[in-house]
Structure 1
């Protein structure tokens, strides 16, 4: 996932200024992309304008510089749809921002493509659990530094495993419930699925 696709997804909903996009990314969009500097947003918007994915109009402001308000072009719409419908490839880390970006923006434009994204993520996580849940997790110590307490190390290793296992199980449960919802619920706009 690139910042381009996040910005295209946001501009697909409504035109926004660079400042508006930055504010959204800092607040609501923190789960998609964190620590984005304002200059990254403006550089990306400029590059996307050069590519033809976005266009802008100047919005006059009293006692402040005019703002550029960006909107999606037809080429930007095509790129957003291409990305939303492209095969999804899960990362090794579950709950990755790449998945959430695809989930949100693909879900807005194509329910069938979203089902493919959810199915791919679900199959990948189930395979991860199947391959690792029963593995030997025992710790072996050899020439450890003196500060290592083997009992504490084993305890914390086990606590971390329990947290991770519970989190991935909850993630799989959420994916399964979401998949059922997507299959069973009529679309709010009455459109075809």
Structure 2
């Protein structure tokens, strides 16, 4: 699971941010990366990051409002961010987990080959999942269910859920394939040599 610290370091690598701006970004643009990060949690993480010397802050005086701490990444924070971004990516079982997407979003800090490898690794893992699980026996077995279980409805709902899951992973695979084509076309990455 991606750590909030790495998301924040990725943000601070791009520009200085206040804690309020971080909370606003996580609630809007970054909501697919990390949910349920409240203001107090963000400030606790920022304090830990500052104690670790990954970030520092300046004070931005505000008229008629409390002054704001504006956080900047330090050289030590830069090193931590790059070390995280350069670690080999290992796909998790659920493709909806944000680790890949966070790494992809901040992929501007790794070289072109590492970015392509990231996408190819995720794509291979999801294609493998489809190959291994798409045709499996999905028969539901009910043994002494509670009286409220409507078996016919439960089987239908399981099937509809499976159909939705297939559509989601197929869409994800198509998006990954499109990303490889787009990155190559933009000259960001290069296709592998034949």
TM-score by length of 2: 0.91
Shift, 1:36, TM fit: 0.3
Higher helix share: 1
Which contiguous aligned blocks of 4+ residues in structure 1 show a shift greater than 4 angstroms? none
CA contact (8 A) 1:57 1:69 kept: yes
How many matched pairs? 186
Deviations 1:46-96 (A, max 9, x none): 111111111111111113222111111111111111111111111111121
Q: CA deviation at 1:145?
A: 2.1
**Residue 149 of structure 1: how far off its partner (Å):** 2.3
1:31 CA drift (Å): 0.7
In structure 2, runs of 5+ residues without a counterpart are 189-194
Q: Distance in 1 between matches of 2:175 and 2:55?
A: 35
Output one character per residue of 1:109-156: Cα deviation in whole Å (capped at 9) or x when no partner. 123222121111111111111111111111222222222222222211
DSSP 3-state at the match of 1:45: helix
- Give structure 1 stretches of 5+ with no counterpart: 188-193
Residues in 1 aligned to 2:172 and 2:63: alpha-carbon distance in whole angstroms: 48
Q: For the Cα contact (< 8 Å) 1:122–1:172, is it kept in 2?
A: yes
Question: TM-score normalized by structure 1?
Answer: 0.91
- Find the counterpart in structure 1 of residue 159 from structure 2: 158
1:95·1:171 contact (CA, 8 Å) conserved in 2? no
Partner of 1:190: none
Report the equivalent of 2:108: 108
Distance 1:63 1:157 in 2: 56
The residue number in structure 1 matching 2:89 is 88
Distance 2:143 2:64 in 1: 69
Question: What corresponds to 2:6 in structure 1?
Answer: 5
Query: How far, CA to CA, are the matches of 1:11 and 1:162 in structure 2?
Result: 40
Equivalent residue number for residue 135 of structure 1: 136
- Give the Cα separation in 2 of the matches to 1:40 and 1:108: 27
Aligned match of 1:175:
176
Q: Give the CA deviation at 1:38.
A: 0.5
In structure 2, what is the Cα distance between the partners aligned to 1:175 and 1:18?
A: 33
2:145 counterpart of 1:147: no
> 2:83 & 2:184 partners in 1: Cα distance?
23
Residues 84 and 113, structure 1, Cα contact 8 Å, conserved in 2: no
Specify the SS of the correspondent of 2:121: helix
- Asked if 1:66 is matched to 2:91, the reply is no
C-alpha distance in 1, partners of 2:67/2:147?
63
